[in-house]
Amino acid sequence: MSQSGPVPPGPESLLALQFPSDPQVSPDGARVAYVLTRVEEDDPRKTDPEFPKPRYRSAVWLAGGGEEARPLTRGEGRDTSPRWSPDGTALAFVREGGGEKGQLFLLPLEGGEARRVTRFKNPVQDVQWSPDGRFLSFLTTADDEDKRDERGEARVITRPRYRFNGRDWLPERPARLWRYNVAAERLEEWHAPEVEVTGYAWLPDSSGVLLISSESEMDAAQWRQEVYRLAHSGEREQVSRWNSAVQAVVPHPDGERFVIVGRPEGKGSPEDAHLFLVEPGGEWRRLDEGWDFPVGNIVGGDMHVGAFPALPTWVDADTLLVSSTVGGSCGLFRVGLDGTVTPQDHDPEGVIPAFTARGGGVALIRERADRFPEVELNGQLVTDLNAALPFAPRSPQRVTFTTEEGQEGEGWVLLPDGEARVPAILTIHGGPHTAYGHAFTHEFQLMAARGYAVCYSNPRGSVGYGQAWASAIHGRWGTVDMADLLAFFDRCLETYPQLDAARSAVMGGSYGGYMTNWITGHTDRFAAAITDRSICNLLSFGGTSDIGLRFWDDELGLNFHRSADALRLWDMSPLKYAEAVKTPTLIVHSVLDHRCPVEQAEQWYAALHLHGVPTRFVRFPGEDHELSRSGRPDRRLKRLEEYLGWLDRWLA
């Protein structure tokens, strides 16, 4: 790009974006309430040019019913979680700001001010209306306080799980389920579980709820969960015999049966989540038996700030509407009680990361790799955020590769303008059981606009290509996945001669960071590397990660606490091969990342330094595993600046 040409967008372009989330369709299917998040200075009255403080602000918006989209709340802090009353006359929502954590408010839609419902010290979560409209329910730890750290007190730990990504220290007492009698304006604690409730759903007749929880803390740490029926009296009854992870529970309209989204006993994290119909008595069968794709959106993007609901929904007594990941796309499908799966809204080059369905209407968010996420109601656009982008998005080109077994894999390349030789970046997704694809990714668009070809693919281990493809790396990370990644990158170089193999970089986050570390320990073909929230030592990861007690058993059939497995885990650890690394490496990590703890970055940084590898370590305070997707705006900005600075330094 000539110096006299247009100035390419920089990381600060992130600050100009608005992020839609949580589309909630009205009971009659004719309107949608959604959240729109923007970035603005923390206190516009006290700006500091030397130390700007961009922060998220969000408001609840309303559209449909013959009216243009308009804000319902002021959004001076963060207004989120809009939830329609069953008669459509009111919206419950959560407000955070002014030094207070998220509290429940109730807004009459015919006019008037929002009424505050709760005044807890801690936030409320998972707000739901009872189907008859009598109650609002939610989870909260209420006024519990933990001041041990600020008082300098010792913290005594006896439970297997005590820290979790995005939450830091887990509370001594799990969040309780509360209910608010709307007419009587009476608030009361309904259920105090001994083990955390990870989800719940009201029964159709409003007689109670179905809860997802575990029998013990060790069961919870090992992802062994069950479904329980909770009556208004507080009586709780186990109604499943599942003994495995439950992502969601969806009561059938008859109130007797329900659907579990999850994996049955004996199936670990490589297994796709599916739909299972549970009969009274606990017997179950898989509904989507012939459908070899996972339930939900698992295509990664970096524009998802806020909540993205995608709970399977009964459109009638015989049919569920669900989202499912197919290749690099995600669409809506109808699943019948007879097991048939038919597409309702599936664009093979698009992603629907969120939807709700009621009253014959569907509200959703739709995005493409070259189109910003937008809210839709019954097939009509509600927002036009793409038009406000501070740059013109590029469209990726599909590139296929062939495995050594003759299977076809796919990926994409996002090309800069012009025909000149350009540096090329191989970027690797996390998971490993997620996918790249047709989601809008600001980071990729930014790099392509700055003159880098961005190459990204779905090697074996990725989802959306059938269970065999996702399970292919079980017990052998760093083998066929590395072969697929390099085969794809070679194919990109062959297909597009303007890509300069001598000026190439490899980068990734989480599992992608693991693969970046692994690849640079086994080849020096790349001129630079960026490893983000990575793993380098499988042994120490097992004892420090919030999922470490179970994760290696699922992924590798090994675990750090068994002596017979220790050497095999060390053989699969990039740290073992650190002395072979020659690639200049940028290490990025968040201090509160409990999924891939910061000690992993510290070990990798120390090892590379000892071996004389040019290394830069960027640590982010107050952030967790989600920094790149929903972290504080100024920290996301700094991360992108560090990325571009490293690439410019080594690939210029």
Q: Which of 510, 534, 540, 545 is catalytic?
A: 510
Is residue 36 within 8 A of residue 74, CB to CB? The reply is no
Other CB atoms within 10 Å distance of the CB of residue 408: 9
Nearest-angstrom CA–CA distance, 615 and 639: 16
Please count the CA atoms within 13 angstroms of the CA of 485 that sit on its side-chain side: 28
Nearest-angstrom CA–CA distance, 180 and 222: 33
297 CB burial (10 A radius; 0-12, 13-18, 19+): buried
What is the number of H-type helices and E-type strands within the chain? 12, 38
Q: How far is CA 608 from CA 516, 533, 538, in A?
A: 14, 16, 17
Q: Which of 191, 252, 594, 625 is catalytic?
A: 625
b/e map 156-193, b = 16+ CB within 10 Å: eeeeebbeebeeeebeeebbbbbbbebeeeeeeebbeb
* Nearest partner of 72 among 44, 113, 42, 24, judged by Cα: 113
> Which two tokens mark 318?
């015989």
Residue 510: active-site member: yes
Nearest-angstrom CA–CA distance, 388 and 384: 7
- In the sheet with 408-414, reading across from the earlier edge strand, the strands are 397-402, 408-414, 453-457, 422-428, 499-509, 528-532, 585-590, 615-620
- End-to-end, the C-alpha distance of the chain in Å comes to 13
Residue 429: active-site member: no
Nearest-angstrom CA–CA distance, 59 and 71: 7
Other CB atoms within 10 Å distance of the CB of residue 301: 21
> Which two tokens mark 63?
């559209």
**DSSP strands (E only) in 219-297:** 226-231, 236-238, 246-251, 258-262, 274-278, 284-286
User: Considering Cα of 488, then 490, then 493, then 494, what sign does the dihedral take?
Assistant: negative
- Which residues are part of the catalytic machinery? 510, 625
